[in-house]
Amino acid sequence: MQETSASIEIIALPAFSDNYLWLIRQAQFALVVDPGDAAVIAQALASANLQLKGILLTHHHADHVGGAMALQQHWQCPVYAPDSAHAAYQMPQVTRVKQGDQLTFEHFSGLYGEVIALPGHTLDHVAYYLNQQHLFSGDVLFGAGCGRLFEGTPAQMFASLQTIAALPLETQIYPAHEYTAHNIAFAQTVDPENMDLQQRAQTTASLRARGLPTLPTALKLELATNPFLRCEALSKQPAFMDWSAIDVFTELRARRNLF
Ligand SMILES: [Zn+2]
């Protein structure tokens, strides 16, 4: 749970084996991002006596949209979804969103959002950037890692990660999966001298040993430790000497698939 300047709380709800469904709360009102499991959301709303006022979808995979239809039908709330024809988004009260769209949310004061297109994991993937501070990154950026390329090219994903890298350093990032520990183990195979990464391995192990989320994460920490954001720096190391940053990215993503 995190208190913010706009008096919102952002809460991680674990679901399935390693998903987080993010709930944004102000007073008795809530928004959810990628409600893959309606029952998890329903229970969280009931236990805190909250009313659901909006659903934000980053992409069409079932573990992100699976609960959206049932929640929308129960709460009659708006749904924000990528502007693509995918059947997963065909439900009532859908607002199609695309790069640069500005969002405001009824019932919430001082809360606004911007849509950022981040193709690569899927072609239609978007992120929601709330109050120029909180980035809900779906399956594009994970703690110390990035999503698989199911639909996009390495160049698309690389550009999407560069877009995230260019956000303000204070940005907090809310990925949809708890993959941080395994991603760090991989990162250490390609960036073994990175002291920030070694420090992060320790703090991550400590959090996981206590059953705590490693997320959200800070962009500043990702820039220092996430190999998929460090391709330019890695391209100057002996193992990748004279490679382009995007060639490093492509190689790292291929290796990570097998790790
Ligand atoms: Zn996905």
The pLDDT tens digits for 105-119 are 999 999 999 999 999
74 annotated binding-site participant: no
Cα 75 to ligand 1 centre (Å): 25
Mean pLDDT of 149-170: 98
Tell whether the model's pLDDT for residue 32 goes beyond 50: yes
83 annotated binding-site participant: no
Tell whether the model's pLDDT for residue 208 goes beyond 60: yes
Cα 253 to ligand 1 centre (Å): 16
Peptide linkage before 216 cis (omega within 30 of 0): yes
18 annotated binding-site participant: no
Q: Measured between alpha carbons, how far is 221 from 217 in angstroms, rounded to an integer? A: 7
64 annotated binding-site participant: yes
34 to 23, 109, 173, 202: CA distances (angstroms): 9, 22, 15, 29
Mean pLDDT of 232-255: 95
Tell whether the model's pLDDT for residue 1 goes beyond 90: no
Confidence of residue 6 (pLDDT cuts 50, 70, 90): low
Mean pLDDT of 127-142: 98
Protein residues placing their CB within 5 Å of the ion ligand 1 = 61, 139
Number of neighbouring beta carbons within 10 Å of residue 210: 7
61 annotated binding-site participant: yes
Q: Which residue from 137, 21, 26 is spatially nearest to 71, judged by alpha carbons?
A: 21
Assign a CATH topology to domain 9-258. Answer: Metallo-beta-lactamase; Chain A (3.60.15)
Q: At what angle do helices 245-258 and 154-165 cross, to 10 degrees?
A: 110
Q: Measured between alpha carbons, how far is 158 from 229 in angstroms, rounded to an integer? A: 9
Cα 242 to ligand 1 centre (Å): 33
Cα 59 to ligand 1 centre (Å): 7
Confidence of residue 92 (pLDDT cuts 50, 70, 90): confident
Q: Measured between alpha carbons, how far is 15 from 164 in angstroms, rounded to an integer? A: 25
Tell whether the model's pLDDT for residue 5 goes beyond 60: no
Task: Tell me what the pLDDT averaged over the chain comes to.
Answer: 96
177 annotated binding-site participant: yes
